[in-house]
Amino acid sequence: METTAPAVQLKTNRGLLKYILLGLITFGIYPIVVMSGISSDINMIASKYDGKKTMHFCLLFFIFAGLTLGIAPIVWYHRISNRIGAELARRGIDYKFSAGSYWLWNVLGTMIVVGPFVYLHKLCKAMNKLAADYNVNG
């Protein structure tokens, strides 16, 4: 079976420094755009194989986060981290990322202040690797 590159190429230039600096300049709009892109991209990359659909980040951020008093984002990050990790493993990409990354770095890592930044770096790197593989193999 021959695989061909998809017509739509996904972004592979996500990065922590860009996320932080543009987030400051745009007063928090850029991080929403990045996370929206990640939620859309993982659906495009993985839905054909795992049959799941990740809720769009804007829907989560603007509606469900407030309605659930902050519980929905915790569940969303846990699930998307696991889904990204599973797709990395399915594609044979040698990079470790999972819900454990979320809980270790983004939750427990808040105690050492830099933990959430490490998580964001790992998330961006994992999505860049998935997007690069998708751009080549579909």
Q: What is the pLDDT of residues 27-54, one digit of tens each?
A: 999 999 999 999 999 999 999 999 999 9
Please classify residue 112 by burial: count the beta carbons closer than 10 Å to its beta carbon, then call 0-12 exposed, 13-18 middle and 19+ buried.
exposed
HEC assignment per residue over 86-124? HHHHHCCCCCCCCHHHHHHHHHHHHHHCCHHHHHHHHHH
Tokens 């990740």 sit at which residue?
54
Q: What is the pLDDT of residues 52-96, one digit of tens each?
A: 999 999 999 999 999 999 999 999 999 999 999 999 999 999 999
Of 4, 96, 76, 90, nearest to 48 (Cα)? 90
> Contact at 8 Å (CB) between 51 and 136?
no
Q: What is the pLDDT of residues 86-130, one digit of tens each?
A: 999 999 999 999 999 999 999 999 999 999 999 999 999 999 999
For the chain, the structural domain boundaries read: 16-137
pLDDT tier at 2 (50, 70, 90 boundaries)?
Answer: low
Record the pTM.
0.93
Tokens 């592979």 sit at which residue?
12
How many other C-beta atoms can be found within 10 angstroms of the C-beta atom of residue 75?
13
> CA separation (Å) from 77 to 50, 84, 100, 103, 106?
17, 10, 11, 9, 10
> Contact at 8 Å (CB) between 45 and 87?
yes
